[in-house]
Structure 1
């Protein structure tokens, strides 16, 4: 069974089942276990005068351990590969979390704020309806890349070892890859490697979002992506903003402090509603279907 065929099955299994609560309420999700391991490395080795060296060595260890674990699991056969890959993809759960924000907003602003707080780290209590919807769409675009397209891409490139390594490094980046006094040195290697691993997938995600909407303004997407603080996250956000014709990003508050981030697609519509979140969810599925079609083409070649 080819790698692309295995991935097709995994993508469909994830889209069908997502993350069943009856299972993950009883046993830890693999992503949770990855987070615990990264947390252990942070507590054990993020000390002393050589934090950057320790962080580099820990990042190398994550790559070796992830590659070895992925290889061992792959020797169990295609069925195990399909199940493990499906567990490490997040299309349905992403859609469910984003849809919950739209449903919450339809009930009340407070409920929308509560739902969006589950998927973004910024201050939500001061958000109006537009800011809630905007945050949900930004999270949807970024997590489509990080949680679906990038892990699927690395599965195509390097099988289950590639997928497990990507998820470990992406988990590490989300936990220690911040420019804070504690993590700037220790998390440097994980953050830089995560940037490299997402270089192609982020741009592929942008194309998968833009093309179904017949949005061919790639120069505008590239320009807006360059304004983002991340070298990769701006690409899917810029593509989704143009696909929907809305303005994303802009000023937002973290820990009580307003930060003046530039707008993505500043000429887009500035007033957003739950309907825009619904449209964003439709784009998530179109992008997923586009990637699935690419996998089918690889099988037929």
Structure 2
């Protein structure tokens, strides 16, 4: 965690070598092009995830056998605190320049339509992405590493990458990506709730926990609603709500709907402080587990 926070993803390394996440994406992209056609697409998708999962477990075991130095490097590469902070921070910096720069920066981290967003919508999208990716990119990888070492970490990463590429309810991927989406939901059940718990614990204790639980149930995702609801309560703002995908406006309910809705770049700054507080809490837990 300390290596990742200090170094992030050094450009001089990843401009010369493909990042492991990029390699995972290439494999999943190949499988999508090769097998997502014809009949029995759900069965094919299940088979692809079984093969990818077994390969991840075997590769994780082989890497772990190479010793603690390799293990530390792999873990530091596959968690994304510094990268997450930098991408979200770029949105705040862009908004302080002009709205177009903010839209361009947030388009790098969300899949919704950004071309017509106002300042508040850009800030809300960045904060939601920050909350969700704190769980997906930091807490969940570390949780599965703590549970099952490098095999657990690589299994989580390949599943989460597959979900981000093919786990959508679109005509092309609804059947083929079903297994990736469902397995990703399962692997994130505990980390998403743990992230929300740590956000609440580090920002006013657990007095808002009942509200967080209620708000999480309003979200369209079984997991993403938890860190978003906790982030909304920690900052005293409303998140989620209506947004457009592929030119179609979707009327999603707000999370923490009675709170402030107009958001600014300063709210993104506050969200980044929440991320670092949760990071510190996870680091403390890791030290305690190591000592025990």
Fold in common (TM above 0.5): yes
Task: Give the C-alpha shift of residue 70 in structure 1.
Answer: 0.5
Task: Give the C-alpha shift of residue 222 in structure 1.
Answer: 1.1
Tell me which residue corresponds to 1:67: 57
Tell me which residue corresponds to 2:245: 254
| SS of corresponding position for 2:22 | helix
Task: Give the C-alpha shift of residue 121 in structure 1.
Answer: 1.0
Of 153, 158, 161 in structure 2, the residue corresponding to residue 171 of structure 1 is 161
User: C-alpha separation between the residues in 2 aligned to 1:256 and 1:48?
Assistant: 28
Task: Give the C-alpha shift of residue 215 in structure 1.
Answer: 4.5
Unaligned 5+ segments in structure 1 are 1-10
User: C-alpha separation between the residues in 2 aligned to 1:186 and 1:110?
Assistant: 36
Unaligned 5+ segments in structure 2 are none
User: C-alpha separation between the residues in 2 aligned to 1:289 and 1:27?
Assistant: 30
Of 38, 42, 57 in structure 1, the residue corresponding to residue 47 of structure 2 is 57
Q: Is the 8 A contact 1:248 1:265 kept in 2?
A: yes
Tell me which residue corresponds to 1:209: 199
Q: What is the TM-score normalised by the length of structure 1?
A: 0.95
User: C-alpha separation between the residues in 2 aligned to 1:300 and 1:19?
Assistant: 28
User: C-alpha separation between the residues in 2 aligned to 1:93 and 1:280?
Assistant: 15
Tell me which residue corresponds to 1:274: 265
Q: Deviations over 1:130-182 (max 9, x none)?
A: 11110000000000000000000000000000000100000001111111111
Tell me which residue corresponds to 1:298: 289
Of 284, 289, 295 in structure 1, the residue corresponding to residue 275 of structure 2 is 284
User: C-alpha separation between the residues in 1 aligned to 2:270 and 2:220?
Assistant: 26
| SS of corresponding position for 1:258 | strand
User: C-alpha separation between the residues in 1 aligned to 2:240 and 2:194?
Assistant: 20
Of 112, 115, 118 in structure 2, the residue corresponding to residue 122 of structure 1 is 112
Matched, 1:19 2:9: yes
Q: Deviations over 1:103-140 (max 9, x none)?
A: 11111111111111111111111111111110000000
Of 97, 100, 106 in structure 2, the residue corresponding to residue 107 of structure 1 is 97
Q: What is the TM-score normalised by the length of structure 2?
A: 0.98
Of 11, 14, 20 in structure 2, the residue corresponding to residue 30 of structure 1 is 20
| SS of corresponding position for 2:249 | strand
Could you list the structure 1 runs, at least 4 aligned residues long, displaced by more than 2 angstroms after superposition: none
Q: RMSD between aligned alpha carbons?
A: 0.8
User: C-alpha separation between the residues in 2 aligned to 1:215 and 1:181?
Assistant: 43
Tell me which residue corresponds to 1:181: 171
